[in-house]
Amino acid sequence: MKKRNRRGAFLTCCIAPATILFAIFMIIPTLNVFRMSLFKRSAYSPDETFVGAENFIKLLHDASFIRSLQNTILLIVVVTIVTFAFALVFAGILSRENLRGQNFFRVIFYIPNILSVVVIAAIFSAIYDPKNGMLNSLLSIFAGQPVETLWKGESLVMVSLIIAMVWQAIGYYMVMYMASMASVPNSLYESASLDGAGRVTQFFQITIPLIWTNIRTTLTFFIISTINMAFLFVKAMTGGGPNGASEVALSYMYKQAYTNSVYGYGMAIGAIVFIFSFILSAVVNKVTKRQPLEF
């Protein structure tokens, strides 16, 4: 009995610091966001007035917020699909094909992930420059005349953001999938080849099912992190412009809370984003759940 008590006390001492820090820096601030969303107050004033659900009702009629939420959903869907498609294909090629300089390609693909968002934003802003940018310069060569496309204009700004976000994320997930694919026995591929299965069939019938657990975990992580990364890219590249065309939910929340100084309204947006993220995680986990395969 004493031995069990000592073991329980030891485990409590090990878990307590992390639990306390998690409560202080995660649980309490999250609950405080929901509390402040029920008040009307300024960002830099302690004075607050209880307004109940008024902030949330106002959100339902805020066209700018609805547009920012639509942009967020667009980025989540498109960036996730494109990133994971390319990451899986590149991982499959570098894992199974005998290419010269495989390690070199791994390093090259991974480099964007170690760069800060500010650096990436600066690189792509220079690429998208309408007059001296590399993209328009290349298009001008092929077109045979000057091209000054506004890649950060209202019609193309979301496409420009998607390209930058995909470029930043592919390498990290490619390396993770390569590690998973390395554990798949070659005997399975050899047996499939003897049965007449081609590379593409093997990829979808053997590789994907056997690394599905890793795909499912990274998918949930990436979708949630995209919400945060979208804010960073928008803040560093476009500032939400032009005319709010690239505004996302978190950047709109930041502007309302700290620029327009309607802090309670901003916290209401934060509460909606939190609930949306939680529901989205639950849905993704439910949809991607399947019986794990063993080999």
Digit-coded pLDDT (tens) for 50-100: 888 899 999 989 999 999 999 999 999 999 999 999 999 999 888 877 777
Counting runs of H as helices and runs of E as strands, what totals does the chain give?
14, 2
65: CB partners within 8 A, 6+ apart: 59, 249, 252, 269
Both tokens of 227, joined, read 């919400």
Both tokens of 3, joined, read 């031995």
d(CA 111, CA 250): 27
Give the pLDDT mean for 265-292: 87
Cα-to-chain-centroid distance, residue 110: 16
- Report residue 189's pLDDT band, with 50, 70 and 90 as the boundaries: confident
Scanning the structure block, which residue is given the tokens 């920012």? 68
Q: How many other C-beta atoms lie within 10 A of the C-beta of residue 54?
A: 17
Total residue count of the chain as it appears in this document: 295
Both tokens of 291, joined, read 């019986």
Using an 8 Å Cβ cutoff, are 68 and 244 in contact? yes
Do strands 48-50 and 39-41 pair parallel, antiparallel, or not at all (unpaired)?
antiparallel
d(CA 229, CA 227): 6
Give the pLDDT mean for 129-157: 86
Q: What share of the chain is helix, strand, coil (3-state, %, to 5)?
A: 75, 0, 25
d(CA 22, CA 16): 10
- Report residue 291's pLDDT band, with 50, 70 and 90 as the boundaries: low
- Residue type, position 108, single letter: I
Both tokens of 180, joined, read 């998973």
The DSSP code sequence of 128-173 is T-TTT-HHHHHHHHHHTS-----TTSTTTHHHHHHHHHHHHHHHHH
Average pLDDT over the chain, rounded to an integer: 87
- If we measure between CA atoms, which residue out of 132, 76, 80, 128 comes closest to residue 242? 128
- If we measure between CA atoms, which residue out of 33, 27, 108 comes closest to residue 267? 33
The lowest-confidence range among 40-49, 96-105, 114-123, 233-242 is 96-105
Using DSSP, state whether 127 is helix, strand or coil: helix
Specify the pLDDT at position 119. Answer: 92
What percentage of the chain carries pLDDT values higher than 90? 34
- Report residue 262's pLDDT band, with 50, 70 and 90 as the boundaries: confident
pTM to 2 decimals?
Answer: 0.88
Specify the pLDDT at position 294. Answer: 59
d(CA 64, CA 245): 9
Specify the pLDDT at position 250. Answer: 92
- Show contacts of 88-92: CB within 8 Å, 24+ apart: 88/177, 88/208, 88/215, 90/170, 90/174, 91/173, 91/174, 91/175, 91/177, 91/178, 91/181, 92/177, 92/181, 92/203, 92/207
d(CA 50, CA 42): 13
